[in-house]
Structure 1
Amino acid sequence: MNEQDLRQLLTVSVEDVLPSQPAAAGWERARRTRRTRRAVGVVALAVALVGGGTVAALRPSAAPVPPVGPTVTPTADPTHGGPVQRPPTELTYPPDPLARLGDPATVPLSERPVERALALFQPLDEEGREDGPVRVLGDDGVVRSLDVVPLVPTRDASGNKATAVKPGVLSPDGRSAAFAQTKELVMIDLTTAAVRRIPLDGYLELVVWAHDRVLVGGDDRTYAVDRVTGTASTIDVPIWELIAPDPAAGREAPLIDMYGERTSLKLRSRAARDGKLRSEQTINASALPSPYQINEFYGRGWLHGERLARAAWIVSSEIDGAEGTAVLDARTGRVLHLLDLGRERGKGCCDVLGWDNKGAVLLRLEPAALARWHPETGEITGIIRDLRGAIALAG
């Protein structure tokens, strides 16, 4: 048997090998569990590389090898304003006022109150414990230490603890901050450093500023606290799923919350005053190319006009359980843009922290501590590098 006969025999022998099958099997295994998504993804990729490389080596060079992996409907350039976008491999860091948040505090708030705060920051150590006082970044670029009241971690009935600084504690105008504490709401006027304590029953964990009120609560109840009088009443809204209202909307604008998983994801509208349910609709992800879909939302969501942004776990072209950020039409529940952040990030890594006044989404993003995403164009830039801690931004 000569060399030509041997090449023909080897070519025929591999024509029945379907390189897509090992990758598809790996992808299906990844769909079954989020906990093992990275391991399964590595296996699928390795099989694809070995299988695809073997076929390429044995086939004549004139016959290209078909791609291995899930079929994805062609989309617009993922770095531009299509329905699915991806961050660049490396972020640029143009000058930004928020970049000063990484600087140490130079003066106490009690000695030099702000006219307006841009952000709050609670440094954390590698084990997630508080590592120094809360910092207040003013619009004058000065970083202050929050010295007017001692804040303790929030906790629930089971004893689980979390830092008192969370997305949503800083008012949209940057003039006040409100902190959930066990059995009380602590409100601070950052322009005078004055402190008010409002006694409330129960374990309180989360805060949402809603125009003339502060909504605060935990697992079993939510209070609505008047910003001026401090009077409180219970309101029937789920504080964990509540979307932070647009500060430009009127005080009677409906409250919106989201809940559910996969095909059962829902968007609900509630009356502003009492939280009574007005409408409910299924979230529509039909604009996303296959196989993209949203599994579940997490973290605080934020309204900006008629658009809503929130972090999510997604099905991507690589795996089930990738990190993502979604922008939706708040009127219809339709998913407009999805930022695919991939699978090589920590679970729950990338909370949305709000919108800026130019319509960009601000979010946590490894390895950057804070990044700016323009969903209409797909542009993503970094703001702060590697800043470990909890951040709250003004609206």
Structure 2
Amino acid sequence: MRDDELRRLLTAVAEDVRPSRPAATGWERARRVRRARRAAGAAAVAVALLTAGTAVALRPADPPPPAAATPGPTPSAPPVQRPPAELSYPGDPLGRLGDPVGAKLSARPVRQALALYQPVDPDTGAEGTIRVLGDDGFVRELDVVTPARTRDAHGNEAVPLKTGSLAPDGRTAAFAQTDEVVVVDLTTATARRFPLAGHLEHVLWSGDRLLVGDDDTTYEMDPRTGVSRKVPLSPWDVVVPDPGGRPDLLLELGGPPGGLMLHRVATDERGRGQDRVPVRTSGLLPEHRVDEFYGRGWLRGERLARAGWISVGNMSGLEGVAVLDARTGTVTQLLDLGRDVWKGCCEVLGWDGDGAVLLRRNPGGLLRWRPETGEVTGVTRDLYGAVSLAAR
């Protein structure tokens, strides 16, 4: 028998022999089982870790968090702007100005007036009675007083309602008359008259005081007492001040073509002048210039708006509205209204609370112009006559 056959025979016989030390053999077998289980567990953990690591490695990276939004540039309109060919009318409380009269002011006083309106027939020039548009959207007739037409020393007449007649808070109105000023409390429908010598035509509010003027003299008057004093300002060129601005500083803007000036005046007891700066149009397009101003100028913050006649290249006598920096006299924006309007069509009526300029356009009613964006929209159509607005 060969050795290998003998080894297999002995192994087979030994498989049926029970061990002489069963406890030791059991413990040894248990240790082998535990070692096997630990090895299997370690292998399983290794496989899990490897799988997870592989999955992490293979998973697409998370997208980076979105970058913080960078604000875009502030819309900037060109310095010279034009209204669109077709106006939109987005709706406005002032659109009720043309509504029929619903009551007399004496029977239904206002809490606050948004505007005063005196219609004028465009064909005959005949004016109607002054109307009061309240903040409730209701139109009243001003019946507690009937102001006469203003007239200058040469007999030239004009309707009594002026763009500066309505106080900024919409509670009081004032009317210049020959040798007197009429002040109406619109919340109580009562009127008071104060004597003041002169062919008075101009009236506007400076805070809680009135600036009243004839052809060449401007008075500052207390509308509660009638006490007045002269101030060295042109009644034609004095600017309606910002209701929230300095009460001790007034501006006038005007002058002949080629010599337009902005004049700042401190209104102390002597009314001493502060400074004069020339009006500059260097910020406009080269062919545009402002030749002369008309109507009333209006200040809001450091911006001043006033209508005028402009030139474009060799064409003069065009209508426009300019916005100036009230510190430097520089024209920063110009609304070019062209020729297809009436001469002196587009007097500025003030600023609204959103920084837009409100202005007349004859024919065409009232417009709102936002100089920063160039947007021009309609407020109300076919409104003929004089309008005075409260500050908004």
Query: Which of 257, 264, 273 pairs up with 1:269?
Result: 264
Query: In the TM superposition, what whole-angstrom CA distance separates every residue of 1:29-81 from its partner, at most 9, and x where no partner exists?
Result: xxxxxxxxxxxxxxxxxxxxxxxxxxxxxxxxxxxxxxxxxxxxxxxxxx971
Note if contact 1:212-1:251 (Cα within 8 Å) is conserved in structure 2.
no
Note if contact 2:342-2:363 (Cα within 8 Å) is conserved in structure 1.
no
Query: In the TM superposition, what whole-angstrom CA distance separates every residue of 1:319-368 from its partner, at most 9, and x where no partner exists?
Result: 21110000000011111000000012211010000000000000011332
1:121 aligns with: 117
2:354 aligns with: 358
2:254 aligns with: 259
SS in 2 for 1:182: strand
2:364 aligns with: 368
* Root-mean-square deviation over aligned CA pairs: 1.5
Which piece of structure 1 moves more, 123-132 or 140-149? 123-132
Which piece of structure 1 moves more, 121-130 or 346-355? 121-130
Letter in 2 for 1:178: A
- How far apart are residue 149 of structure 1 and its match? 0.6
Note if contact 1:83-1:336 (Cα within 8 Å) is conserved in structure 2.
yes
Query: In the TM superposition, what whole-angstrom CA distance separates every residue of 1:238-291 from its partner, at most 9, and x where no partner exists?
Result: 111000000011322x10001223331110000123432110011111011111
SS in 2 for 1:179: strand
2:130 aligns with: 134
- Structure 2 segments unaligned to the other structure (5+ residues): 1-74
Q: Does 1:229 align with 2:225?
A: yes
Query: In the TM superposition, what whole-angstrom CA distance separates every residue of 1:205-251 from its partner, at most 9, and x where no partner exists?
Result: 01010112101011132221113222122222111100000001132
Query: Which of 370, 373, 380 pairs up with 2:376?
Result: 380
Query: Which of 213, 227, 251 pairs up with 1:217?
Result: 213
Query: In the TM superposition, what whole-angstrom CA distance separates every residue of 1:143-196 from its partner, at most 9, and x where no partner exists?
Result: 000000111100011110000011100001111000001110000011111111
Q: Does 1:184 align with 2:184?
A: no
Which piece of structure 1 moves more, 312-321 or 111-120? 312-321
SS in 1 for 2:226: coil
TM-score of the aligned structures, taking structure 1 as reference length: 0.78
Note if contact 1:116-1:139 (Cα within 8 Å) is conserved in structure 2.
yes
Letter in 1 for 2:120: L
Note if contact 1:262-1:293 (Cα within 8 Å) is conserved in structure 2.
no
Note if contact 1:80-1:379 (Cα within 8 Å) is conserved in structure 2.
no
Give me the whole-angstrom Cα distance separating, in 2, the residues matched to 1:160 and 1:334.
Answer: 34
TM-score of the aligned structures, taking structure 2 as reference length: 0.78
Query: In the TM superposition, what whole-angstrom CA distance separates every residue of 1:73-104 from its partner, at most 9, and x where no partner exists?
Result: xxxxxx97110000000101111000000001
Query: Which of 218, 221, 239 pairs up with 1:243?
Result: 239
Q: Which runs of at least 4 in structure 1 moved beyond 4 Å after TM superposition?
A: none
1:326 aligns with: 322
Note if contact 2:77-2:372 (Cα within 8 Å) is conserved in structure 1.
yes
1:17-166 equivalences under 5 Å are 81-127=77-123, 129-166=125-162
- Structure 1 segments unaligned to the other structure (5+ residues): 1-78
Q: 1:131 and 1:297, CA in 2 relative to 1: closer, same or farther beyond 3 A?
A: closer
Give me the whole-angstrom Cα distance separating, in 1, the residues matched to 2:100 and 2:314.
Answer: 40
Note if contact 2:345-2:363 (Cα within 8 Å) is conserved in structure 1.
no
Identity, % of aligned positions: 54
2:31 aligns with: none
SS in 2 for 1:101: helix
Q: 1:318 and 1:356, CA in 2 relative to 1: closer, same or farther beyond 3 A?
A: farther
Q: How many residues align?
A: 316
SS in 2 for 1:339: strand
Give me the whole-angstrom Cα distance separating, in 1, the residues matched to 2:256 and 2:133.
Answer: 37
Which piece of structure 1 moves more, 276-285 or 228-237? 228-237
Q: Which has the larger radius of gyration?
A: 2
SS in 2 for 1:244: coil
Give me the whole-angstrom Cα distance separating, in 2, the residues matched to 1:384 and 1:95.
Answer: 8
- How far apart are residue 130 of structure 1 and its match? 4.0
